[in-house]
Structure 1
Amino acid sequence: MGRKPAGIGLASPPFGVATALAALLGALAVHALPALPPRWLDAALAVLAAALLLRPRLRLPGCVLLGFAWCALRADVALEARLPRELEGRDFTVVGTVEDLPKRQPDATRFELRVERARLDGRELALQGRLRLSWYDGAPQELDACSRWQLQLRLRRPRGLVNRGGFDSERHALEHGIVAVGYVREADSNRRLGERGGCVDRLRERLAHDIAERVGDPHDAALVRAFAIGDTRGLGPDDWEVARATGVSHLIAISGFHVGIAAGFGALLVRLLWRLWPRLGLRVAVPVAQAPVALVTALAYGALAGNSLPTLRTLMMIAIVALAHGARRGSGGAHALALALLAILVIDPLATLSAGFWLSFVGVAFLLGCLARGRGWTGWLRELGAGQLLMSVALLPLTVWFFGEVSLVGVLSNLFAVPVVSVVIVPLCLLGLLALLTLPVVAVLPLTLAATIAHAQWRLLESMAGWPGAHGYLPEVAPWALALAMLGAAWMFLPRGVPARGLGALLFLPLLLPDRPPPPQGAFVATVIDVGQGLSVLVRTHGHALLYDAGARYRSEFDLGEAAVLPTLHALGIDTLDAFVVSHGDNDHAGGAPAVARAYPQARRYAGEPARLDLGAAQCRSGQAWRWDGVDFRMLGPRPEALAAHSGSADNDRSCVLLVETASGRLLLTGDVSRRVEPAIAAAAGDGPPLVLLVPHHGSRSSSSEAFVAALAPRLAVVSAGWRNRFGHPHPAVVQRYADAGVALESTARSGALEIEFGRDAAPRLIARERERRARHWRE
């Protein structure tokens, strides 16, 4: 018998699920590396992969190697495109185009600029890519989407805070192709050069303006803009808090779900047209006609959405299904998903850094593999309800891994939110957009209806956000715990008849465990949280926790209490905060305090300047003391003379100064005290076990006198300061002063968060620098 020729169509084995998973495994291996391999090794692995792909039995190892080589090369090219380190802090003249939609905030307008050309000191510079910029003090109204500008910019490389549980802005910059960040300098040469033609963001901005004009309530208009074109600029922190608490964040901005609805809308229009003119069916079958219309509708709507990663995944799946229908061939859901995954890995393997990538593909994979298809409207409703339960449980481990948070009311809220959004709000938004583009006078009706329904739904969600269990926080998840929980989710949703499916829930239990036990009796651990130019320190004993300061809150509403301090506490499994000390009222110490106070209302509060805070804190005074789990806490300041002073220059000297002590080590937290009170603090601290010192006032030269350093003789000194901060902290003279005294100096600016262990019988030791602990190839 002759051998049957292998097919080369959509169902060809080389492009199946196993191939996609193998390539994904290779790309994922790159992201586990602390540094990228040299390019010659990428090339060698690619050649070896090509040789393996020619052998059917070795095809999967070849896909792994090829996925690794391609992802490593793309990451290397992207990192090399970043602003050179030696040019950080310089002023550049840049010509570029505004991408996406600029966001106007109280302190600045924030936007992204695609570089066309750049100059430094009059010479051309090879800088290409996207810049993330701020324009302070009133950006001109002409700064809009797709506009071209010549701007004077102060730039630096992307570098962010590094904490347990915190947002990784450096990974985010690599994922989005950000090569530098900075701000616009005031200059006469700043000017608009026109606009780029054929830019979809210009249309998005026009549609956003048209929606705002036709929907009276600003908040309702913001919701409609989010549902219609993915414009979330009108939604504030409180709105996102409600969305997270109720588990509906995926419904607010346009996602793959919305694009699928748009494709279905296009297919429905074709079916209606064929019913009105049945003779069309004699020329083209309905499924064949629906496929290209659904694809074009999805592509158009995806472009209006900004082509996010879940949107691209859905577009690719729709394109595969459309091609299969157009060619009158079948294409299973799993195969379509695998082809979409391969397409993403070929186009942009760095998309695997995104939480959206994993939530999108894993969620759809669970739906395809575990959800039985229903028939008719009742079957569709059962499928919808079961799908929400499936997605909530299956994606819970990934949600905790990426965000450290899970909503226990999310299943219930999604049961009504998903059908309302999919069946009512999004179709009305689509009709409104179609009317705005063709007959604007009739757009008011669908947009108003969408706004009314969105308003009612949002009020219900706001109520549910206050229910018990709306916010659930879990400790930082270890990779092995994530793997077990995902295995447990798959086990729970195996087909009926598989025995002991409920035991899969037991594999979720490791998600509840912190990655390390609490300190033993008589010991404590101090975590100096990376809050940039500010201060926040967490002290944990065996059964208690104290927080000293909470970082800054800025006019842009960026709150370090929310963004850095609370995620760290949640990642470390801090359910109860026993005491909260705000050293004094300056923003870089107290700005994030309200967020912490709301999250931990039961904590006893102390403050050096309670009158400057609205927290109901008690005045901290020298002499206050308590003991937790064999660890002594003692206030050394402010002294009575500092409290009696009322001049602005004395504010820093009213800082709470806290000494934490065990038999083998001490920690001294000093706030922003100056040389004026340092002698009294040193005398109150006295002699004792080895000391770790939080350097006063971030290393300002107004503090850390030679006499103070000599009197304390710390074993280790820690500076909490921002990278390349405008104050120049720590001052070089202060750094030299500690070096001359033989004191080791650590800085959060260089190392990220720092963790110091004070053992029961051992001297204090630095046990973790967060930038080293989370070393990855994208890390600065």
Structure 2
Amino acid sequence: MLYQSDWKVFNRTGIGHLISISGLHITMVAGLFAGLVYWLWRRSFFTRAQLPLLLPAQKAAAVAGALMAFIYVALAGFGVPAQRTLYMLMVIAAAMWLGRLTSVSHVLCLALGIVIVLDPWAVLWPGFWLSFGAVAIILFAGVGRVQYVQQHGLKRRWSEVWREAWRAASHTQYVVTVGLVPLTLLLFGQISLISPVANAIAIPLVSFVVTPLALAGSLAPAPIAGWLLQLAHACIASLATCLEYLSKLSYSVWTTPIPAAWMFVLAMLGTLWLLAPRGWPSRWLGALCWLPLLCNLPSHPQEGDMTITAFDVGQGMALLVETSGHRLLYDTGPFYSPESDGGNRVILPYLDARGIGKLDAVVISHNDNDHSGGALSVFQHVKVGWVTSSLAPESAIVAAAPNHRRCEAGQAWDWDGIHFEMLQPAAPSYDSQKWKPNARSCMLKITQDRHSILLPGDIEAIQEQELLYSSADKLPATVLLAPHHGSGTSSTAPFLQAVHPQLALFQVGYRNRFHHPKLEVFERYADFGIKRLRTDESGAITLQFGTDLEFSEYRSEHARYWYHR
């Protein structure tokens, strides 16, 4: 069973394609079976049936290879890369059966067309673009090379043939590594720098040792099957140890923000120029088209401005606050399962897409699962300057947090002209046992010149009333994050009158079991003339604090026909 940490190693070393399902494996299995059928058919399965007179051995082998490929892909789950290989093999088998063999590029285009017709949604998967893109770039860069080897290979000694085969394999690895860089950065915002080394070790081992041993172990009788499978396991275990060492190297992965469309197009044109067939003039000039892609840096708000992104983490809370030189994460989203949470499913992919590798601070309002569930994932994958929370000292999150401090009312600091102040909880509340974690939520107010935002966590009516007595002058804000997701125990009328926001954010999950926000509370905001935005309807919400307050909704800017309006 593969865990999240295993896939992290595979992705950082660039060998995920081998672990899931590889087109090379499908082709190898189909080829071996087709070769076996071809050999047996020519000998009529050692009978006197004279089968080649009824059907040529080549056609029988083509059908057998295509059938075996279909069975193998069906067992593998029909992933897009596996589909691509299957349909290419079927097109080749059909062409051989009909006596209409064509060029490889035609086969690739037919396979692509079949995938899109049978599964139009496949275009939304990165594997679709990477799979077909890899084959296309190999065909593009290999023009003239295959024909040369075919024409001259048989006239050489075996040492020269092997040397030419090694050069061809090295060239193919170079082409795939370089050719997929723009597409990989567009899809993932990172590339594995040690992928060529890892693949040079893993591809021969997995393809020519582990896969044959596993297949043989599946068919062989006991106890031979056990020995074969144990040997395959030992090979994989050794490979995993080597890959884990490579993945921990500081330079194993290079990250950058997701490039703009023009950067990607320019880099792709440069890649085609760089990998053009022999005879193309000044191919090295193509590398210059990569400069905008390689110099792409994370964006920041202008001096004195502020950007806040309210993530769509489901029923939970998580916001990223950005100034011109600092970043703060308020809450980390919910815990979904032992393998997934708001941190590794939403926050970290967003940070990776932006090329953000460091957070100056993290505020965890309180210990509830929907606010602190993604904290450990964030701490494991992003550098964090300091953490403040209301969590108990014995909490696992506090133990893992770098430079942890307890949040208390009165704490304040300034970043790049933006003022941050903690309004809640009061220090004596930590000595009382009567309060739930909600009551100790770290309530943060952020003020930017003309505008401000209030982040109250999950405070309830009692805390709202206490704030009206102790800090009423500090409550007014342009934007209010609805306390406790708009529950029926918060957002009292006096509190909303004191804050008097123009805009309210509700971070809630679609059809959540708590029925947040409560209808009467949601309507209460409307009665006060407050504009309301919900993450379950808008997706992620981005606020731009500058001379004016502007906001954008992800689902409006990236509209899809399946978004119901």
TM-score by length of 2: 0.89
Does the Cα contact within 8 Å between 2:357 and 2:383 map onto a contact in 1?
Answer: no
1:773 match = 557
Please, which of 515, 524, 536 is the counterpart of residue 728 of structure 1? 515
Residue 594 of structure 1, CA deviation: 0.8
Residue 703 of structure 1, CA deviation: 1.3
Alignment of 1:434-453 (within 5 A): 434-435=219-220, 439=221, 442-453=224-235
Residue 772 of structure 1, CA deviation: 0.8
**3-state secondary structure, aligned to 1:686:** helix
**What is the CA deviation profile of residues 225-268 of structure 1, one whole-angstrom value per residue up to 9, with x for unaligned ones?**
xxxxxxxxx21111111111111111111232321121222244
Residue 304 of structure 1, CA deviation: 1.6
**What is the CA deviation profile of residues 40-59 of structure 1, one whole-angstrom value per residue up to 9, with x for unaligned ones?**
xxxxxxxxxxxxxxxxxxxx
Change (3 A) 1:251 1:385: same
Deviates more, 1:339-348 or 1:540-549: 339-348
**3-state secondary structure, aligned to 2:325:** coil
Does the Cα contact within 8 Å between 2:315 and 2:509 map onto a contact in 1?
Answer: yes
Residue 585 of structure 1, CA deviation: 1.2
The answer to whether structure 1 residue 552 and structure 2 residue 334 are counterparts is: yes
- C-alpha distance in 2, partners of 1:479/1:707? 48
Residue 334 of structure 1, CA deviation: 0.8
**What is the CA deviation profile of residues 552-603 of structure 1, one whole-angstrom value per residue up to 9, with x for unaligned ones?**
1233422110000111222233232111111111111111001111222342
Change (3 A) 1:316 1:555: closer
1:672 match = 458
- The structure richer in helix per residue is 2
- C-alpha distance in 2, partners of 1:557/1:360? 27
Deviates more, 1:401-410 or 1:510-519: 510-519
**What is the CA deviation profile of residues 643-673 of structure 1, one whole-angstrom value per residue up to 9, with x for unaligned ones?**
22223x4321211111111111111111111
- C-alpha distance in 2, partners of 1:515/1:406? 15
- C-alpha distance in 1, partners of 2:548/2:101? 69
Change (3 A) 1:500 1:637: farther
Alignment of 1:220-259 (within 5 A): 234-259=1-26
1:411 match = 196
Residue 393 of structure 1, CA deviation: 2.0
Please, which of 721, 745, 750 is the counterpart of residue 532 of structure 2? 745
The answer to whether structure 1 residue 399 and structure 2 residue 184 are counterparts is: yes
Does the Cα contact within 8 Å between 2:439 and 2:458 map onto a contact in 1?
Answer: yes
Does the Cα contact within 8 Å between 1:401 and 1:477 map onto a contact in 2?
Answer: yes
Please, which of 482, 488, 492 is the counterpart of residue 264 of structure 2? 482
**What is the CA deviation profile of residues 307-360 of structure 1, one whole-angstrom value per residue up to 9, with x for unaligned ones?**
222222212211222233344543221111122122223333332232222111
2:158 match = none
Change (3 A) 1:466 1:445: same
- C-alpha distance in 2, partners of 1:236/1:291? 38
- C-alpha distance in 1, partners of 2:52/2:529? 90
The answer to whether structure 1 residue 294 and structure 2 residue 78 are counterparts is: no
- C-alpha distance in 2, partners of 1:268/1:462? 37
Does the Cα contact within 8 Å between 1:625 and 1:633 map onto a contact in 2?
Answer: yes
The answer to whether structure 1 residue 660 and structure 2 residue 442 are counterparts is: no
Alignment of 1:551-630 (within 5 A): 551-611=333-393, 612=395, 613=397, 614-616=399-401, 617-630=404-417
- C-alpha distance in 2, partners of 1:741/1:514? 44
1:758 match = 545
1:699 match = 486
**3-state secondary structure, aligned to 1:775:** coil
Whichever residue aligns with residue 388 of structure 2, its letter is Y
Change (3 A) 1:380 1:240: same
The answer to whether structure 1 residue 359 and structure 2 residue 130 are counterparts is: yes
Q: Which runs of 5+ in 1 are unaligned?
A: 1-233
Whichever residue aligns with residue 186 of structure 2, its letter is W
- C-alpha distance in 1, partners of 2:439/2:10? 42
**3-state secondary structure, aligned to 1:377:** helix
1:56 match = none
- C-alpha distance in 2, partners of 1:669/1:573? 26
- C-alpha distance in 2, partners of 1:742/1:326? 72
Does the Cα contact within 8 Å between 1:754 and 1:769 map onto a contact in 2?
Answer: yes
Deviates more, 1:370-379 or 1:297-306: 370-379
Whichever residue aligns with residue 321 of structure 2, its letter is V
The answer to whether structure 1 residue 711 and structure 2 residue 498 are counterparts is: yes
1:429 match = 214
1:642 match = 429
Residue 525 of structure 1, CA deviation: 0.6
Change (3 A) 1:758 1:740: same
Does the Cα contact within 8 Å between 1:690 and 1:763 map onto a contact in 2?
Answer: no
1:261 match = 28
Residue 275 of structure 1, CA deviation: 9.8
2:157 match = none
- C-alpha distance in 2, partners of 1:281/1:383? 38
Divergent runs of 4+, >6 A: 274-282, 513-516
- C-alpha distance in 2, partners of 1:523/1:503? 40
- C-alpha distance in 2, partners of 1:650/1:351? 47
**3-state secondary structure, aligned to 2:457:** coil
- C-alpha distance in 2, partners of 1:282/1:722? 65
**3-state secondary structure, aligned to 1:603:** strand
Alignment of 1:208-227 (within 5 A): none
2:306 match = 524
**3-state secondary structure, aligned to 1:676:** helix
Whichever residue aligns with residue 368 of structure 1, its letter is L
- C-alpha distance in 2, partners of 1:258/1:239? 21
- C-alpha distance in 1, partners of 2:562/2:259? 21
The answer to whether structure 1 residue 379 and structure 2 residue 164 are counterparts is: yes
- C-alpha distance in 1, partners of 2:522/2:234? 60
**3-state secondary structure, aligned to 1:577:** strand
Change (3 A) 1:274 1:737: closer
Does the Cα contact within 8 Å between 1:638 and 1:653 map onto a contact in 2?
Answer: yes
Deviates more, 1:549-558 or 1:575-584: 549-558
Deviates more, 1:601-610 or 1:360-369: 601-610
Residue 272 of structure 1, CA deviation: 6.0
- C-alpha distance in 2, partners of 1:247/1:744? 46
2:156 match = none
1:53 match = none
**What is the CA deviation profile of residues 420-468 of structure 1, one whole-angstrom value per residue up to 9, with x for unaligned ones?**
1111112222223343xxx566432332222121111111111111112
**What is the CA deviation profile of residues 677-729 of structure 1, one whole-angstrom value per residue up to 9, with x for unaligned ones?**
22444553626985211111111121111111101101111111111100011
**3-state secondary structure, aligned to 1:443:** helix
1:331 match = 102
- C-alpha distance in 2, partners of 1:240/1:282? 48
Percent identity between the aligned chains?
39
- C-alpha distance in 2, partners of 1:347/1:403? 26
Does the Cα contact within 8 Å between 2:320 and 2:328 map onto a contact in 1?
Answer: yes
Does the Cα contact within 8 Å between 1:526 and 1:538 map onto a contact in 2?
Answer: yes
- C-alpha distance in 1, partners of 2:6/2:476? 49
Change (3 A) 1:282 1:522: closer
Residue 476 of structure 1, CA deviation: 2.9
Does the Cα contact within 8 Å between 1:404 and 1:567 map onto a contact in 2?
Answer: no
Change (3 A) 1:524 1:393: same
Whichever residue aligns with residue 391 of structure 1, its letter is V
- C-alpha distance in 2, partners of 1:514/1:525? 20
Please, which of 321, 336, 352 is the counterpart of residue 539 of structure 1? 321
Q: Which runs of 5+ in 2 are unaligned?
A: 154-160
**3-state secondary structure, aligned to 1:626:** strand
Change (3 A) 1:277 1:411: same
1:310 match = 81
Output the aligned Cα RMSD.
2.6
